[in-house]
Structure 1
Amino acid sequence: MSLNMDAARQAFIEEVAELLQSMEDALLALEDNPADNESLNEVFRAMHTIKGTGGVFGYMPVVEFTHAVESVMEEVRSGREPMSEQLICILFACRDHTSRLIEAIVEMGEDSGKPLSSDLIATGHDLLKQLTQRTLQTTNITPNTPEQPKYLPIVSDVWMIALDFGRNALRNGMDPLSFLRYLGSLGDIVDVVTLSVPPPLNEEFDPESCYLSFRIAFRSDADKPTIAAVFEFAEDDCDIRILPPDSAQDTYLDLLASLSDTQVTRIGEMLVSIGALTPNELARALAHQADERNTDAISETHSEHTANQRLGDILIQQGSIKPAVLEQAAKTQEAARAKRQDETRFIRVDAERLGHLINLVGELVTSSAAIRIMVERAGVENMNEVVDSVDYLVAEIRDNALQLRMVPIGESLSRFRRVVRDTSKELGKNIELVITGGDTELDKTVVEKITDPFMHLIRNAVDHGIESPEERARVGKPVNGTITVNAYHDSGHIVIEIEDDGAGLDVKRIRAKAEAKGLVKPEDTLSHEETLRLIFAPGLSTKDSATNLSGRGVGMDVVRQNIEALRGSVELDSVLGQGTKITIILPLTLAIIDGFLVGAGRDQYVIPLSQVAECVEMKAAGEMLKPHNGHYINLRGEVLPFIRLTELFNNQHTVRHEHRESLVVVRFGHHKVGLVVDTLLGELQTVIKPLGKLFEELRGIAGATILGTGDIALILDVSELAMIGQMKRHHSDLRHS
């Protein structure tokens, strides 16, 4: 039982995290459009659901706090309270406090009944006080408004009842006035209008027939079924329509919004279950709908959606329900249907199990390669077709297994909307965050590891990338700054660009700071790009004083290290006065890649296939540029730096034989470099294995893999090789300038 409760608590924590994220997104939407009903409902549902589920586990601090917030949202949704900027700020704080309450209870574990910390309690009281004060301020805007008379027939505050008696009502012993007397016992009859409906022209007046109709304004706390029960014995001789007041309608809307998925059935049954519709009203509407079908007014082949629409039209025509309640019922039914479909399509899987599956697929890839090599060595040609089929299936299993861990990056990027909002308000800036390419997918393990670097970069852009409104106006820029985040796929990688239209980076200031710290010498010549990259050096900052947020330069070395640890790279471009653009390039997955196997000297290497641009024979590639010490080649008019892998890793053959060298052109981002190898061995699926600590400082290597032969091949880090090639080019330029 304890294990089941632990699993239930974990499910509760995960659900709360999702609800709070939905609430945050809804509040951000409300800042742009305070009248967005769907966002208002989303905030209400989040607090309502957390309150209900928290009560199941006995988390009373959570229940009490969320109930107070829920009550305020109920007032806003009903239109009795306005959604203001002040309230949105308080609700953001309430959302954060709810998250901290959950964290505190989780840390307590089995002792979740212990009192909370005094700071947490004080924060909760302060937030509730702010909500209460705000409510008093909004409700006392017109304190001198005279009280309305008690029996004034205000339509929005009373039940409207229509009674149309049948011709035989008096013959069957019905007393119309008795219904009014009975109704008066349940509340106040505000007003009654008596209508006399004369017989048609072709029908004589019958003194025993009833020609009466009542229109009643009724104020009561009774629900609709109770009021309908007053006329229960007259249903066969009377047409009854009961329209609820706005207050009751708000209750129906709340009940519909809080229905669990198991309670959501057909629209008519839902409305009956919450008391918005009486069984007889539904029965009459269904009978009317059936009559229409029988007369071909509606085709039997119409969808359930069309049938629901028609039923709703009939209920409104009957005066049984208001359109707003019917619309909410349809939304509730549609949301429940969509959620049930999602639940049948998706299942939650433990990340460790998924990781274990990926590892097994990796071993399967290695075993498949070994089988092919054994078949080729044995010369069993009639096995080739079977081996090809196995390779194809293994590739499909690999791709599908990796897809299981792919998630849209937009969910991770959208978290930064709150960061930009809070930080810009704290600094007195007006900044908009624009996110594009959010549906681009990336391995979940990569997404989890880039959150911190991204947070730092976004805060940098807000803190002192974007200028203050006054400074922007002074230099002729729009007062509102913009940070754009764009994600897209490129050659087996994902590229994420973070760009701001702020002040940009001052390369002269960066150079001066770098010289002061001894990172470069005054006589060193650096390109614009190399000077910008100095901000990734440990401890370098162009800020004279630190802020409580972050500074561009402080911690940027950690950003670079974290990204490079994922076999990624970060590039920087900035124009003083115009803005800064940071480009991050990451592999789609950290587990398995398609590789290109090459030989150089005594060893074999794997190059990620997605980064291979072309392969040419070294002699046919072009003329080697001697002035640059042989590290350049003229490839069809393009000056291309190249690296000999045998020289880089010092693994030449003991006895050097004349052989044909090949040039493998690889690219990473905006950089291209040539890798000179001895042999081209073809494509293969590669399972990436991390290197031990002994090889951590080995440059240009991202990992290792086991070949089908059992040999070890090193996987090249193309990003670092590209940087090595650029450095060779730069130093050669310096020597020959």
Structure 2
Amino acid sequence: MTNDPREAFVQEVDELLEAMESALLSLEETPEDPELLHTLFRAMHTIKGTAGVFGFDPIVDFTHRVEGVVDGLRSGERALDEPLIAILLSCRDHTLALVQAVLEGEDPSQVSADLLGRGQQLLDRLCPEPVGDLTAPVASAPDGYGAAKVEKLAGREAADDYWIISLGFGPDALRNGMDPLSFLRYLGSLGEIVDIATRTDRLPPLADFDPESCYLSFQIGFQSDADKATIEGVFQFAEDDCEIDILPPRSKIEEYLALLDDLPEAQVQRLGEILVKIGALTEKEVAQALAAQAADQASARPLGEILVGRHDIQRSIVEQALDKQEKSKSRVAQEGRYIRVDALRLGQLITQVGELVINTAAMRVAVQRRDTDDLQEVVERVEALVGDIRDNALQLRMVQIGETFSRFRRVVRDVSKELGKEIDLVVTGGETELDKTVVEKLNDPLTHLVRNAMDHGIETPQERLACGKPAKGTLQLNAYHDSGRILVEIRDDGAGLDPQRIRAKAEARGLVEPERNLTPQETFRLIFEPGLSTKDEASSLSGRGVGMDVVRRNIEALRGSIELDSQPGQGTKVSISLPLTLAIIDGFLVGAGGEQYVIPLAQVAECVEIGREQALTHGDRHHVNLRGEVLPYLRLKEFFGIRSGAARKLRESLVVVRVGHAKVGLIVDELHGELQTVIKPLGRVFENLKGVAGATVLGTGDIALILDVQQLTALLQAHPQPQAVSGRH
């Protein structure tokens, strides 16, 4: 794991900007959701603060302006609409560009003038109206204060938004040289005293009046950007002769709640410390409350109750602080279970576990040759332990596919607006887990398929309404487990594919003979041939057919398969079948023609013996009658071109394998049983070998090929007598 704090900064920014993008897209549906608005503010606020620590001034300057706009959204000063969401999305992208620029440049405080110019253009669109001169001097305090009722200030109207300061000087204040008016003038230098009321309840009867004693007590309405500690500091030198209570403005209360929400979990400790950190209380007030709690131990009053009653703190702040404190304890305990691990180190661990699996198998073979019962038991225990280690190691690299799916919300939003279409993205199965390396390599093919569905699949609102469909189209992303594999579906309710048009295009390009009969699935499969497109003009976004051969190659490189199904006028479904992991699998070892092969165990449905009379041939097609079901099959040694002098047996072993709903049979000579298989990639010499996903080293030291069941099934469906090697490139 890296110790470079800049890399940690980049990781944090990526996470915050992903959250910001997700929140903005959700706000299009629920523009007044306060939690989503808090997420926007928290992203900009945190990035600004962290960038300031590193001295990344361009990021600080830009995010500060954006943060101000988002803060206005939270307070209701500005309404959130679709154009503003679009600008904020662009601000999110520009923030990422700034981060990349400052990290790549020699001077983090400088970025290119072009980048700064683009940022200024965004800010001009974000804040088209001037907000005033923030550097203008604060107005001085008035010399005189109009009388006002204490009740008016204490029960201020909703439109009022200022500090309420209850100030009572002690009887010895004048004797001690205090000038109450000087404190009020100093207070005025920090803001504006908008109203003041003199309290008379402390005045004694005239007969008891002492002209040297101080009976002044005020209720002050004060408008200022200063925090509570600064305001309290005005009266620091009079604290022994003065009683002061400060009630924050309503906007400050909202700010405290927001700051409390943004407070990092690591800083959430004791209640008093939380309230001091966000500025809701001063250290002096907390100390007074703790002293009151200690003096009244008999009643065992909670500190939160004392703070609410003694210092007029809004109950909502204390309650939320307590809630934050509880969530922090829970989250810290939860996060304590996790650590960040370098992906390279994790890959090395998987490789080492793979070697351990191979050597355990070799140990098993060596012990079997010596036929030692005691060692057999030891080997079984070691194998079980290695199996657990293997499973746990692979789980470390498993991630949910939902994060990849969620990234397409932005793609769907931007592309649909560019095309003038209305498209709703529906995501299901996001909790499905598969290997991190598979997820990363799946992103590009998925992006191409999603763009295809939006560009050439889903119609414009006018076309949909004319066909009796809703104006808004639907694009679905779904993932789920099936027979030890992951199925990913991209489904749209658009115009669908036209088989006749695909066939005509394929014949025109010489990809299929006019007299050849094709099933609908075989026709749709032509889409994956290089260069075939049903569109007369390729779009800049995508072209269904243009690039689909690349999609197929990328999926097959992951030992996966891709299928198309479509109904004209109803939509298209693309199904991608993927392995859970690319490293280690449970396999089933078979023999054919003196060679050994591994079939992924998750795809083995059953093993049966069949007689010669069950294996039938009709023309160039081979099938077996399995309990009344017609099952296509191939003989492995014939498929791989292995010549064997051994005569065919009267009864043969048939391994039934399944891919989705499709089943085929593989006729083999021997069944050796289950084993753990470490997948080794084949070299470029074997890249055109069909039906093979890789190789593995057996415990005997021999090499066995791992069969690609998806490809074998597709080959059987497309060609009655497929061969392992088809042409040279």
| Same fold at TM > 0.5 | yes
The match for 1:649 is 640
From the superposition, tell whether residues 657 and 470 of structure 1 become closer, same or farther in structure 2 (CA, over 3 Å): closer
Asked if 1:483 corresponds to 2:475, the answer is: yes
The match for 1:385 is 377
From the superposition, tell whether residues 159 and 608 of structure 1 become closer, same or farther in structure 2 (CA, over 3 Å): same
Determine the C-alpha separation between the residues in 1 that align with 2:641 and 2:716: 17
Q: Which residue among 350, 353, 367 is the counterpart of 2:359?
A: 367
The match for 1:664 is 655
The match for 2:195 is 190
The match for 2:725 is none
Q: Which residue among 629, 632, 651 is the counterpart of 1:638?
A: 629
Kept in 2, the 8 Å contact 1:593–1:685? The answer is yes
After superposing the two structures, state which structure 1 stretch, 592-601 or 41-50, moved more.
41-50
Amino acid corresponding to residue 37 of structure 1 in structure 2: P
The match for 1:568 is 560
Amino acid corresponding to residue 695 of structure 1 in structure 2: F
Asked if 1:627 corresponds to 2:618, the answer is: yes
Kept in 1, the 8 Å contact 2:183–2:235? The answer is no
Determine the C-alpha separation between the residues in 1 that align with 2:605 and 2:549: 30
From the superposition, tell whether residues 330 and 533 of structure 1 become closer, same or farther in structure 2 (CA, over 3 Å): farther
Alignment of 1:583-602 (within 5 A): 583-602=575-594
Structure 1: stretches of 5+ with no match in the other structure: 138-149, 200-204, 299-309, 732-737
Kept in 2, the 8 Å contact 1:174–1:234? The answer is no
Q: Which digits, 9 at most, give the CA deviation of each residue in 1:206-234, with x for residues without a partner?
A: 98999998644334455323444566799
Q: Which digits, 9 at most, give the CA deviation of each residue in 1:552-571, with x for residues without a partner?
A: 11111111110011110011
Alignment of 1:249-648 (within 5 A): 249=253, 251-253=255-257, 255-256=259-260, 259-286=263-290, 294-295=298-299, 311-318=303-310, 320-323=312-315, 325-326=317-318, 329-330=321-322, 333=325, 337=329, 340-341=332-333, 343-619=335-611, 623-627=614-618, 631-648=622-639
Determine the C-alpha separation between the residues in 1 that align with 2:718 and 2:532: 21
Structure 2: stretches of 5+ with no match in the other structure: 133-144, 723-729
The match for 2:127 is 132
The match for 1:72 is 69
The match for 1:734 is none
From the superposition, tell whether residues 460 and 421 of structure 1 become closer, same or farther in structure 2 (CA, over 3 Å): same
The match for 1:62 is 59
Determine the C-alpha separation between the residues in 2 that align with 1:628 and 1:292: 99
From the superposition, tell whether residues 416 and 172 of structure 1 become closer, same or farther in structure 2 (CA, over 3 Å): closer
Residue 578 of structure 1: how far off its partner (Å)? 0.9
- Percent identity of paired positions between Structure 1 and Structure 2: 58
Kept in 2, the 8 Å contact 1:470–1:479? The answer is yes
Aligned with 2:546: secondary structure? coil
Determine the C-alpha separation between the residues in 2 that align with 1:215 and 1:191: 6
Kept in 2, the 8 Å contact 1:186–1:222? The answer is no
Normalising by structure 2, we get a TM-score of: 0.87
Aligned with 2:533: secondary structure? coil
The match for 2:682 is 691
Determine the C-alpha separation between the residues in 2 that align with 1:181 and 1:535: 85
Aligned residues: 693
Q: Which digits, 9 at most, give the CA deviation of each residue in 1:289-345, with x for residues without a partner?
A: 66887336x7xxxxxxxxxxx544543344532345446645654665466445522
After superposing the two structures, state which structure 1 stretch, 604-613 or 218-227, moved more.
218-227
Determine the C-alpha separation between the residues in 2 that align with 1:332 and 1:547: 51
After superposing the two structures, state which structure 1 stretch, 280-289 or 83-92, moved more.
280-289
Kept in 2, the 8 Å contact 1:631–1:728? The answer is no
Q: Which residue among 86, 97, 119 is the counterpart of 1:89?
A: 86
Kept in 1, the 8 Å contact 2:2–2:342? The answer is no
Q: Which residue among 702, 710, 713 is the counterpart of 1:719?
A: 710
Residue 619 of structure 1: how far off its partner (Å)? 2.2
From the superposition, tell whether residues 185 and 236 of structure 1 become closer, same or farther in structure 2 (CA, over 3 Å): closer
Aligned with 1:709: secondary structure? coil
Amino acid corresponding to residue 118 of structure 2 in structure 1: T
After superposing the two structures, state which structure 1 stretch, 270-279 or 664-673, moved more.
270-279
Determine the C-alpha separation between the residues in 2 that align with 1:272 and 1:73: 25
Determine the C-alpha separation between the residues in 1 that align with 2:630 and 2:2: 66
Q: Which digits, 9 at most, give the CA deviation of each residue in 1:2-48, with x for residues without a partner?
A: x998x232222222222211111111122222222222222222222
Determine the C-alpha separation between the residues in 1 that align with 2:658 and 2:694: 19
Amino acid corresponding to residue 632 of structure 1 in structure 2: H
Residue 174 of structure 1: how far off its partner (Å)? 9.3
Amino acid corresponding to residue 432 of structure 2 in structure 1: T
Amino acid corresponding to residue 344 of structure 2 in structure 1: E
Amino acid corresponding to residue 192 of structure 1 in structure 2: A
Determine the C-alpha separation between the residues in 1 that align with 2:355 and 2:225: 70
Determine the C-alpha separation between the residues in 2 that align with 1:115 and 1:72: 23
Amino acid corresponding to residue 191 of structure 1 in structure 2: I
Aligned with 2:52: secondary structure? helix
Residue 535 of structure 1: how far off its partner (Å)? 1.0
From the superposition, tell whether residues 552 and 55 of structure 1 become closer, same or farther in structure 2 (CA, over 3 Å): same
Determine the C-alpha separation between the residues in 2 that align with 1:431 and 1:291: 65
From the superposition, tell whether residues 659 and 683 of structure 1 become closer, same or farther in structure 2 (CA, over 3 Å): farther
After superposing the two structures, state which structure 1 stretch, 430-439 or 270-279, moved more.
270-279
Q: Which digits, 9 at most, give the CA deviation of each residue in 1:521-579, with x for residues without a partner?
A: 22121111111111111111111222221121111111111001111001111111111
Residue 476 of structure 1: how far off its partner (Å)? 1.5
Determine the C-alpha separation between the residues in 2 that align with 1:473 and 1:4: 55
Q: Which residue among 22, 29, 40 is the counterpart of 2:19?
A: 22
Determine the C-alpha separation between the residues in 2 that align with 1:651 and 1:245: 87
Aligned with 1:32: secondary structure? coil
Kept in 2, the 8 Å contact 1:596–1:607? The answer is yes
Amino acid corresponding to residue 60 of structure 2 in structure 1: V
After superposing the two structures, state which structure 1 stretch, 150-159 or 319-328, moved more.
150-159
Determine the C-alpha separation between the residues in 1 that align with 2:32 and 2:303: 29
Asked if 1:40 corresponds to 2:43, the answer is: no
Kept in 1, the 8 Å contact 2:174–2:214? The answer is no
From the superposition, tell whether residues 135 and 547 of structure 1 become closer, same or farther in structure 2 (CA, over 3 Å): farther
Asked if 1:51 corresponds to 2:55, the answer is: no
From the superposition, tell whether residues 60 and 277 of structure 1 become closer, same or farther in structure 2 (CA, over 3 Å): closer
Residue 471 of structure 1: how far off its partner (Å)? 1.3
Kept in 1, the 8 Å contact 2:285–2:311? The answer is no
After superposing the two structures, state which structure 1 stretch, 648-657 or 489-498, moved more.
648-657
Q: Which digits, 9 at most, give the CA deviation of each residue in 1:373-396, with x for residues without a partner?
A: 111110111111111100000000
Amino acid corresponding to residue 672 of structure 1 in structure 2: K
Structural RMSD (CA):
3.4
Amino acid corresponding to residue 703 of structure 1 in structure 2: G
Determine the C-alpha separation between the residues in 1 that align with 2:402 and 2:59: 30
Aligned with 1:661: secondary structure? strand
The match for 1:121 is 116
Q: Which digits, 9 at most, give the CA deviation of each residue in 1:626-665, with x for residues without a partner?
A: 4356711111111100111111112142343646411100
After superposing the two structures, state which structure 1 stretch, 657-666 or 566-575, moved more.
657-666
From the superposition, tell whether residues 133 and 234 of structure 1 become closer, same or farther in structure 2 (CA, over 3 Å): closer
Determine the C-alpha separation between the residues in 2 that align with 1:730 and 1:601: 18
Q: Which residue among 104, 107, 123 is the counterpart of 2:101?
A: 104
Kept in 2, the 8 Å contact 1:160–1:242? The answer is yes
Amino acid corresponding to residue 671 of structure 1 in structure 2: A
Amino acid corresponding to residue 654 of structure 1 in structure 2: G
From the superposition, tell whether residues 450 and 709 of structure 1 become closer, same or farther in structure 2 (CA, over 3 Å): same
The match for 2:666 is 675
